[in-house]
Amino acid sequence: MKNSIIAIFTLISFGAFAQTNDTGETKEKQYIPLQGFAGVSMNITGIINNLGVSAAIDPIGSDVLLGKYYVTDKWVFRAGLGINSINYTGNSTDSIGSSQVNLDSTYSQAALYISPGAEYHFLDDKRLDPYIGGALSLGFISKPKYNTTISIIDTTGEDKTKITYQSEGGFVFGATAIVGFNYYIARNFALGAEYQLGFYNRREGGDWERVTVNTPVSGTSSSIRTFGAERTSTTTVGLSQQLNITLSYFFNIKG
């Protein structure tokens, strides 16, 4: 939080310096976007040290590509889109006596996040552009899939056990109030900050199925199928854990 406060004062001071060095010609510029403008907003990370940019963060903490469109001079439609895909593969080899044990495992799951919302920009100023707004957050989480294969190899052959596990996916819903501001250091180019207050609910799981197939060195393969149900639900209410420092650029899509 301390770094965020320092960053805000740094941004304002930089903007104020740029404004005091304007010529008479630049003072006639329209710095803040108007109706028909669209743009993107990203987060600034590593204030002062290791400065960089990253994807915006939606109200439930997911990385999203955040776009904005000025429906009117005051009202802005915003929408975030995020995709998260996890694909894990693990392999290990060990020995027990004269036997070699191989363990192969995979895990995969994907999620899609969308966060539509709106902002109202209420101050008629040349550069400073505070706003309030709100957003919904929707997340669709795919079914997680686990696959594990254990093979024990010795002089007699290979004993293999394969375990497949799959359960239901999940859903995330959130609603958030937003307060923030932009300070335009150049035409349609702004630095700003945004804070969020709201709640979200995350639900995952449901019916699950596990199938275990054993193929011995000799004899017939056997399989065991087990079923069950496991569900989790988490609700979080409160302020965002961080103040997002933003970098935004807009352009006129109507020409």
pLDDT tens readout for residues 147-199: 999 999 888 888 999 999 999 999 989 898 999 999 999 999 999 999 888 88
Of 242, 99, 135, 126, nearest in space to 184 by CA: 126
Regions in the chain scoring below 70 on pLDDT: 1-28, 45-62, 238-242, 255
For residues 228 and 170, give the distance between their C-alpha atoms in angstroms, rounded to a whole number: 16
Strands 222-239 and 52-54: unpaired
End-to-end CA distance of the chain: 40
pLDDT value at residue 163: 95
Task: Count CB-CB contacts under 10 A for residue 251.
Answer: 10
Q: How many structural domains does the chain have?
A: 1
* pTM given for the model: 0.74
Task: Give the count of alpha carbons within 13 A of 252, CB side only.
Answer: 10
Query: Dmax over Cα atoms in the chain, in whole Å?
Result: 91
Can you give the residue range of the structural domain that contains 7? 2-252
pLDDT value at residue 218: 82
pLDDT value at residue 45: 67
